[in-house]
Amino acid sequence: MIALCDGVEIGYDDVGTGMPVAFIHGFPHNRALWAPQVSALVDRARCIAPDLRGFGESSTHGPFSMDQFADDVAMLLRSLGIDRAVVAGLSMGGYVAFALWRRHRSLVRALVLADTKAGADSEEGRAKRLALIEVARTRGSGAVADGQITGMIGKSTREKRPALIDDVHRMLASAPVDGIVGALEAMMNRMDSTPTLATIDVPTLVVVGAEDVLTPVGESEFLHQAIRGSRLEVIEHAGHVSNLERPAAFNHVLSEFLAALDYA
C-alpha cells in the first residue's frame, strides 16, 4: 500500500490485528526485511512495516535525516489511526527509533532495538560513508550491495544458508541510488543517541546476533546497561540481520516480549 505523508509517497504493509507494532528497516534495506516477523505475528499484532523514504516503494525525495524518517513513520502511524505502537528498529531502523522516541514519545508503547547502537559516527566512520556515496554514484546499488553483503550476514549463516546471501544481496541491490546517498548522509549527520538512553522509560527489548560484526554484541550490552529495565537477548549463530538469519529464535524472543506487554 502507499500513503501520502506530507506530499511524499510511503510504501507500507499493514497486516494483522492486535497490538500495533511498527517495524523499521535498516540500510540499505526495505520493508521486506521484516517479512518473517510480520508473517509470524499476524494473528497477534497489527504489523505496520513502512519503506523509509528513498527505499522500496517509497519516493526518493529528500530531505533525508533520522528526524525526517521518524516524522514520516509518525505521520504514517497517525494516518492509520494508530496513536501508540511498539517500535522495532534494526540497525539504522534503531537510529530512527531513537529519533521517534525523542520527537514522538507518546506514540511509543515499547521499543525493540535490534542489531543497533546509540553512538554517532566517528571521523573514520564518516569517511567510510563518503567513500560509499562515491561508490553508489559511480558504480550503482549493485556495487554497494557487493561491499555490504559480507558484513551484513553472520559467518554461520554464510556457511549454512548461502541462499540467504543471494536474497539479502537482491534486497540491497534494489535500493535506489538516491535513497542510498540520502540515508548515508543522514547517518553521517545523525546525533549521538547515548544521552537519550537514560530517558527511555518504556519496556525495551535489545536483540543482537552473536556474530554481528557491524554492530557487535558490546553495543547492545551498552544499550542494555543504559536503558533502565531493558532486556537483552543474544541470538547465537546469527549476524547483523539476526531476524532473517534465525527467524524462529528472533520471533520467539519478540513474541515473549510482546506477550509480557499485554500485562504491563
Give the strand pairing for 45-50 and 8-15. antiparallel
Please identify, using beta-carbon distances, which residue of 46 and 117 lies nearer to ligand MLT.
117
User: What is the residue whose three cell numbers read 547515548?
Assistant: 194
| H/E run at residue 14 | strand 8-15
Q: Which residue is nearest to ligand MLT (CB)?
A: 26
Binding pattern for the stretch 68-107 against ligand MLT, x by CB under 6 A and - elsewhere: -----------------------xx---------------
Please identify, using beta-carbon distances, which residue of 30 and 204 lies nearer to ligand MLT.
30
Q: Any residues with CB less than 8 A from the CB of 235 and at least 6 apart, and which? A: 207, 208, 209, 210, 242, 245, 246, 249, 250, 253
Question: What is the rounded distance in angstroms from the CA atom of residue 95 to the CA atom of residue 219?
Answer: 13
Cβ of residue 102: shortest distance to ligand MLT, in angstroms? 18
Q: Any residues with CB less than 8 A from the CB of 152 and at least 6 apart, and which? A: 168, 172, 214, 239, 240, 241
Take residue 7 and report the three cell numbers written for it. Answer: 506530499
> Does residue 26 touch ligand MLT according to CB under 6 A?
yes
Take residue 187 and report the three cell numbers written for it. Answer: 547517518
> Does residue 187 touch ligand MLT according to CB under 6 A?
yes
Please identify, using beta-carbon distances, which residue of 66 and 254 lies nearer to ligand MLT.
66
> Does residue 214 touch ligand MLT according to CB under 6 A?
yes
User: Considering only residues 100-159, where is the footprint of ligand MLT by CB under 6 A?
Assistant: none
Buried b (16+ CB within 10 A) or exposed e, 91-129: bbbbbbbbbbbbebeebbbbbbbbbbbbebbeeeeeeeb
Please identify, using beta-carbon distances, which residue of 82 and 205 lies nearer to ligand MLT.
205
Of positions 12, 23, 27, 69, contacts ligand MLT by CB under 6 A: 27
Cβ of residue 22: shortest distance to ligand MLT, in angstroms? 16
Cβ of residue 91: shortest distance to ligand MLT, in angstroms? 3
> Does residue 193 touch ligand MLT according to CB under 6 A?
no
